[in-house]
């Protein structure tokens, strides 16, 4: 079994690790340019972003050729998943001529700092029965269960459309980030960015190629990176995932040319 995952704060990676099999970071697959994968079963695990599949996951699904008897997709989310899975399932046959045999979603800690207070999220984590729900999904996958995307009602569809309208990823979402004086230029933000959009040299600079996954904000040990509208400075990483795993998953090891560095310094 091969599992392709995308993660900002480790929730989706923790689920992928529990399911097992060979794990592939989607950010690394895109970077390497590998396009063909085959196995007896193939899955993707990813977070919900703006009631949608994250841009990088959509790009991956457009680019790769996957061959398997059994395809599954698991989406982690924090509060409202809306019609994200339904849309993914209906888009695939048209876009890539394949169907997911099994799809499911799992409610986890909400890392969207514009809405979520991480202190409260952690306090009430037990209510989400995360381990129990992951175990049910693992069992479904082991039994090769076949299902269709969870059906959503009329109001959920309307709300999903409204939320999607207000969640636009155009690369420039990084203008919402502010780095405060406590930054020591450790470079972690640069290493966890799956888009290679950050240069931490002298000061932290963003280059307007941001998917807004917030890995940089959450991974900063000093909480020195802030996002406009955040509830507070509490940050999050899934307890089953080490910082190094986020780095290994996302690091683009990008070296910046002199002119790019100058552009970046201007950008912030
Ligand atoms: C930019 C952004 C947008 C998000 N949008 C949604 C959303 O529309 N609905 C939702 O329930 N959770 C949303 N979330 C929360 C994540 O889907 C959730 O916390 C997920 O488990 C994070 O997984 P990860 O740690 O693998 O990145 C969003 C998070 C981010 C960073």
Query: Which atom of ligand 1 is least distant from the CA of 5?
Result: 26
Give distance in angstroms: CA of 261 to centre of ligand 1.
Answer: 30
Cα 91 to Cα 62, 99, 130, 256: the distances in Å are: 11, 9, 28, 36
Banded model confidence at residue 158, pLDDT cuts 50, 70, 90 = very high
Q: What is the pLDDT of residues 163-194, one digit of tens each?
A: 888 887 788 999 999 999 999 999 999 999 99
Banded model confidence at residue 85, pLDDT cuts 50, 70, 90 = very high
**161 is written with which tokens?**
């459309």
Do the bridges between strand 102-107 and strand 70-77 make them parallel or antiparallel, or are there none, so unpaired?
Answer: parallel
What is the residue extent of each domain of the chain?
A: 2-166, 172-267
Are 66 and 98 contacting, i.e. CB atoms less than 8 angstroms apart? Answer: yes
Q: Give the single-character DSSP code of 104.
A: E
Banded model confidence at residue 260, pLDDT cuts 50, 70, 90 = low
Ligand 1 is surrounded, with C-beta below 6 A, by: 7-12, 47-51, 76-81, 108-112, 212-214, 238
Sign of CA dihedral 114, 116, 119, 122: negative
Are 138 and 18 contacting, i.e. CB atoms less than 8 angstroms apart? Answer: yes
Higher pLDDT, 163 or 1: 1
pLDDT confidence of residue 257: 64
Q: What is the pLDDT of residues 41-70, one digit of tens each?
A: 999 999 999 999 999 999 999 999 999 999
Q: In the CATH scheme, what is the code of domain 2-166?
A: 3.40.50.360
Query: Which atom of ligand 1 is least distant from the CA of 8?
Result: 27
pLDDT confidence of residue 266: 59
Give distance in angstroms: CA of 257 to centre of ligand 1.
Answer: 33
Pocket test for ligand 1, best of 51, 110, 118, 165 (most atoms within 8 A of CB): 110
Q: What is the pLDDT of residues 199-224, one digit of tens each?
A: 999 899 999 999 999 999 999 999 99
Average pLDDT along the chain = 93
How many other C-beta atoms can be found within 10 angstroms of the C-beta atom of residue 67?
Answer: 11
Higher pLDDT, 222 or 97: 222
Q: In the CATH scheme, what is the code of domain 172-267?
A: 3.30.70.20
How far apart CA 118 and CA 162 sit, in angstroms, is 25
Give the mean pLDDT of 142-171: 89
């Amino acid at each position: 079994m091969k599992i392709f995952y995308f993660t900002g704060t480790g929730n989706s990676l923790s689920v992928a690790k529990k399911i097992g099999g060979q794990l592939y970071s989607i950010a690394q697959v895109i970077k390497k340019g590998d396009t063909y994968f085959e196995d007896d079963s193939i899955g993707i695990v990813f977070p919900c972003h703006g009631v949608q599949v994250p841009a990088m996951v959509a790009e991956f699904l457009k680019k790769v050729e996957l061959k398997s008897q059994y395809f599954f997709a698991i989406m982690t989310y924090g509060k409202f998943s809306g019609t994200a899975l339904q849309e993914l399932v209906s888009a695939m046959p048209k876009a890539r001529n394949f169907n997911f045999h099994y799809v499911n979603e799992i409610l986890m800690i909400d890392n969207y700092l514009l809405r979520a207070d991480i202190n409260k999220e952690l306090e009430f984590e037990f209510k989400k029965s995360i381990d129990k729900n992951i175990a049910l999904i693992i069992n479904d996958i082991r039994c090769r269960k076949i299902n269709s995307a969870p059906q959503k009602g009329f109001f959920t569809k309307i709300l999903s459309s409204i939320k999607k309208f207000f969640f636009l990823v155009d690369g420039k979402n990084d203008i919402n980030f502010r780095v405060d004086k406590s930054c020591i230029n450790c470079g972690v933000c640069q290493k966890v960015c799956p888009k290679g959009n950050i240069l931490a040299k002298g000061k932290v600079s963003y280059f307007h190629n941001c998917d807004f996954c917030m890995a940089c904000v959450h991974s900063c040990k000093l909480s020195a990176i802030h996002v406009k509208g955040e509830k507070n400075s509490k940050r999050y990483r899934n307890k089953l995932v080490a910082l190094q795993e986020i780095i290994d998953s996302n690091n683009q090891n990008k070296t910046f040319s002199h002119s790019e560095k100058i552009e970046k310094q201007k950008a912030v």
